[in-house]
Amino acid sequence: MARGQSFGLSASARLALVQRLARRREGQEAQAAADPRGFTAIQNLKDYGLLRDAADALGLESPFFRVHEGRAGARSVTGGRAVINLGSYDYLGLNGDPRLHAAAAEAMTRYGISASASRMVSGERPVHRALEQALAAHYGAEAALVLVSGHATNVTLIGHLMGPRDLILHDAAIHNSCVEGAKLSGARRVPFAHNDLAAAARELKAARRGAQRALVVIEGHYSMDGDVPDLAGFVRLAREHDAWLMVDDAHGLGVVGRTGKGVFEAAGVDPAEVDIWMGTLSKTLCACGGYVAARADLVDWLRHTLPGFVYSVGLPPPLAASAHAALGVLQAEPWRVAKLQANARLFRDLCRTRGLDTGNSAGLGIVPVMVGSSVRAGRICAAVLQRGVNVLPIAFPAVPEGAARLRCFLSAEHEEADLRAAAEALAAAAESVGPAEAGA
C-alpha cells in the first residue's frame, strides 16, 4: 500500500491488508527472479500490481472495462442487464441520432472507412476540411486542425509548441494529456490551486520573468469537478503577463453557455481573446479525435510540423462527417443544451437533498458525488450497479486519496424518472456501504 494512504481502512484493517500483500509480494518477487526478461522491474508496473492486489484482497471487483451490449446513451445494457447510464458523455443525446449515422454512412461509402495515410501525404478528404472550417467558425478562429485522438492532441500540441526555456502554468486539476504534453516540452511546469484565479496570478507573477515564453492552460468545464473557470479573468491575466492562453474545452462544447457554444459564451468573452482552443470530438460530437482552433499562421505551421498530425493517419472520414453533422445539430437545436442543463441541475439538487456531496458542480453536464476513500468509491460503484445504475469511480491516483468520487455524466436524453431513480439508488448504495471501511 502506498505510504501515507489509508484508503478509508481502519488501523487493524490496514495492518491485515499489509500483511496479506507482503505475503503475496514475496511470491511475486521469487517469480520475477526466475524470469529475468519480464517487466516487473518497472516501478509503475509494481505500483499497479500493488493496487490490483489490494483490490483483490479486499474483494473489490474492478468496475472498469465492463462490456456494454447496448448503445452508450442515457440507458445502456451491461452484463445483459438494462441500466440507467451515467457513465458516458453523450451530452446532447446524439450518439444514436439517425442524421449522424447517415452522414457517417455516406462518407464511408464515398471515401472508405480509413483515411489510409497521413493527411499530409495522401489522406486528405473533403470532409476533413469541412469539419475544420465549421470548428473554426464556431470559435471565431481563423483556422482549425483535427487529429485522431483528443489526448494525443494536447500531448503533441503542448509538447511541440513549448520548450525548455518556457513556462507552462496550469490548473492543478488539468487533464492528464496537458500534463503529459508539458512534460514532453521540457518547459518549467507550475500548477496553481484548482480554479483559483488569484493563486494563478501569484504563481505567474513569480515565475514569468525567468521564462522566454509562457502558456496558461485551463479547462472550460472541468471533467473531474464539473465547475467552470473565470474565463474573463484568465484572459486579463494572460495579457498582463504576455502569455498565451489555451483552453481545453473538451467538456464545454455543447454543455456550457446558453446555446452550448462553450465557456466563452457563458462568460461573455470574445473567443478570439483565447489564443488556442482545444477540444475533442468524442463528447458532444459523438465521434473520436481532437481539434485545435487558432490563428491561421499557427494552424498552418502545426499542419506541416506537428508530430501527432504529420506522422499519424488522418481522422477516419466517417467520423469527420458524423462530427460535422453533430456540430450542425448543436447549432440548430439549442433546446438540447437547455434540456441537458436542466437535467444536470435537477440531478445535482436531487443528490444534495439526499445528503450526497456534489462538490462545486455547476450543474451543466458533470456531477461528481464525493465519497472519500478509494475503497468506499469502489464499493458504492458495485452497490449502485446492483440497483440498476452504471456510474464509474474516480479514485487514487487519478485524484488524491480521500477525494474519490463517482463521476456522473448527464445527457439531454435522460428522463426525469431516470434521474430520480439514479439519485435514490446512489443514496441507498452509499448508505449500504456506510461512511467508512471497517475491515479488509
- Catalytic positions, written as ranges: 223, 251, 283
Grid coordinates representing 377? Answer: 468509491
Start-to-end CA span in the chain (Å): 13
Grid coordinates representing 434? Answer: 456506510
Write the CB contacts of 142 (distance below 8 Å, at least 6 apart in sequence): 136, 294, 295, 296, 299
Looking at residue 117, the DSSP 8-state letter turns out to be: S
- Report the distance separating Cα 415 and Cα 422, nearest Å: 11
* Residue 65 CB-density burial (10 A; 0-12 exposed, 13-18 middle, 19+ buried): exposed
- Report the distance separating Cα 40 and Cα 33, nearest Å: 9
Write the CB contacts of 429 (distance below 8 Å, at least 6 apart in sequence): 380, 383, 384, 386, 387
Looking at residue 313, the DSSP 8-state letter turns out to be: B
Grid coordinates representing 78? Answer: 451491461
Grid coordinates representing 344? Answer: 444536470
Q: Do 259 and 334 touch, CB atoms closer than 8 A? A: yes
DSSP states of 178-225 as a string?
Answer: HHHHHHHHT-EEEEESTT-HHHHHHHHHHHGGG-SSEEEEEESS-TTT
Question: What phi, psi does 321 have (nearest 5°)?
Answer: -70, -40
